[in-house]
Structure 1
Amino acid sequence: MKKFTELALTFAFASCSAAYVAYSAAYIAHYELGIPSAALRNQALTSAILILGLVTIEFLASKKQ
């Protein structure tokens, strides 16, 4: 049960981190570069999912070794 809890917490942390990075990048692109926010919504969600997947793969790969 401890491994499941550790995995769940890591997954939640990775999700929050990915969302934070994606929305921070979208904020910079919108306010600093002038890209319309409507154009960034789907890209921010896609980036968050991509980062989450990469972090999860890295975490699971490091656990096997």
Structure 2
Amino acid sequence: MVITRQRQEITAASNEEADQLLNAVVEDLQQLARREGRYGILVTKTGPGRFTVELSEDVPFGVTEETTG
């Protein structure tokens, strides 16, 4: 898992692992988003078992959106 302040990349070997990692990362970024008060969270599936989770100005504050890249 690559971690920066506003973006995290996740690689998981199973659906269960992906769910656990995504939930943890989204919770962490939700806390940061609340402090910033202006970003939503964008989850992008970039490949099998691979995801990017990031704060995004394109997503309304308080919302988490999912997409594929």
Q: Compute the TM-score of the two structures, normalised by the length of structure 1.
A: 0.40
User: Highest CA radius of gyration, 1 or 2?
Assistant: 1
Q: With CA pairs under 8 Å and 6+ residues apart, which has the higher RCO, 1 or 2?
A: 1
Larger proportion of helix? 1
Larger proportion of strand? 2
